[in-house]
Amino acid sequence: MSNFLRILLVSLACLTVSAPAWADDWPQWRGPNRDGVWHETGLVEKFAGDHLKPRWRAAVAGGYSGPTVADGRVYVTDRLVEPTQIERVHCFDWRDGKELWSHVYDCTYDGVGYTDGPRASVTVEDGRAYALGTMGNLFCLDAASGKVLWQKEPGKDYEIEMPIWGIASAPLVEGDLVIVQIGARDACLMAFDKRSGKQRWTALDDRASYSAPIMIEQGGKRVLVCWTGDNVVGLDPQSGNVYWKEPFKPTRMVISIATPAVGGDRLLVSSFYDGSLMLKLDRKKPAVESLWRRLGRDELHTDSLHAVLSTPYIDGDYIYGVDSHGELRCLAAATGERVWESLKAGPKVRWGTIHMVRNGDRTWMFNELGQLIIAQLTPTGYHEISRAQLIEPTTGQLTRRDEGVCWAHPAFAHRHVFARSDEELVCASLEAGSN
């Protein structure tokens, strides 16, 4: 064997051994593409016991924001009220949970319900971390050091028409822009240069919602999709110009929380009081048409799907989502008709929440009791494979539940899961053979 061939074989072997280092990050809300899809392999088939042993725990305070993971670091935000009201952006080493830095700023909550802490997940891209607080403070931080690169302050850089539950929509990076649903007067959406913070455009006079914007492609064009408090809108992300707009005004109050779900040429939005709207995406140009709208007579007598915090997903000809009181449902995507319902995955309670992440033919489900479930969701029903307690619920996020809740969306990266409560951030291995 020649020296060259030996070197080549050794190099290939090293690449194979180091392959896990190339594992997926989870750098923004609901994963790399904001679609709740996790691509890693080599995961556990089922849990060894009824509890997952954390790799590490780190103390945090209250907040609704789910963690994000990028470049070997984990990011999460929280809030303290003593001795003064502050919000914090934390950065931890993903391997051992050691805090690397924490950015702290004064933030008095005014006119906001559910005051536990920040809502929006930190978005990390190209060495920068973008954090958006409950009152509308926007920071661009050096992702490695926490140094403030630029910032925007409510009352100084924009006047916010504050939604009742605060600013909640995670920042979206597209090209050289960072885009936020900020709810400013005459500017529901704003775009800033991601490096300098210079304002590039504003768009829409809609009320702000809590739903995170996403990017899709239509007719060879990138389209920014945002579900505001009044409409579902498709915009040119570079200019803010509107391509299409479909009205979806709330009957009682703005409660647009779930992220728009896309599957093929369908786009679905769903809310607690106002049911579901399915749009057909034009493949040749940025345009939509309404396929169906389903609405039950009230929050207890729902039709199709009345989602709250849980984002549904479309898989081929079927929709899987969580209804107003925690009912897991499968619907026919063409009509919204119910195929089945299950109450096995989580409790039947008002605003019952289960966050769902797809991985191959399985769905990882994190319910509000802090349990992680491995399941298969098919048109034939809910098929649970395994379940384990990941983290204990706490009462700050929802004081009316005596047992507490875990409402923050977990992150999945490096064959691990990262979840937070009002007291701690935990990391647990999901690698095959680890538990």
Q: Each residue of 114-165: pLDDT tens digit? A: 999 999 999 999 999 999 999 999 999 999 999 999 999 999 999 999 999 9
> Contact 86/77 with Cβ under 8 angstroms?
no
What would the mean pLDDT of 55-74 be, rounded to a whole number? Answer: 98
Give residue 75's Cα distance to chain centre: 13
Statement: 257-385 belongs to CATH 3.10.180.10: no
Q: pTM of this prediction?
A: 0.94
- How many whole angstroms separate alpha carbon 109 and alpha carbon 410? 25
- How many whole angstroms separate alpha carbon 15 and alpha carbon 24? 16
For residue 435, name the pLDDT band (cuts at 50, 70, 90).
low
More confident position, 7 or 194: 194
Q: What CA–CA distances, in Å, run from 299 to 261, 272, 303, 402?
A: 21, 7, 9, 22
Encode pLDDT of 189-226 as tens digits. 999 999 999 999 999 999 999 999 999 999 999 999 99
Residue 135's closest CA among 104, 168, 102, 103? Answer: 168
Domain spans, the chain? 169-256, 257-385
Domain 169-256: which CATH class?
mainly beta
- Residue owning tokens 């009205």: 247
Q: Residues 22, 49, 410, 70: what is their CA dihedral angle, to the nearest 10 degrees?
A: -20
Residue 409's closest CA among 21, 35, 131? Answer: 35
> Contact 145/167 with Cβ under 8 angstroms?
no
Residue 345's closest CA among 314, 324, 374, 316? Answer: 374
- How many whole angstroms separate alpha carbon 297 and alpha carbon 274? 9
Do the bridges between strand 362-367 and strand 371-378 make them parallel or antiparallel, or are there none, so unpaired?
Answer: antiparallel
For residue 23, name the pLDDT band (cuts at 50, 70, 90).
low
What is the predicted pLDDT for the residue at 130?
A: 99
**At 337, which helix (H) or strand (E)?**
none
Its sign, for the CA torsion 43, 329, 29, 76, is negative
Residues 6+ apart with CB under 8 A from 373: 345, 364, 365, 366, 367, 384, 386, 387
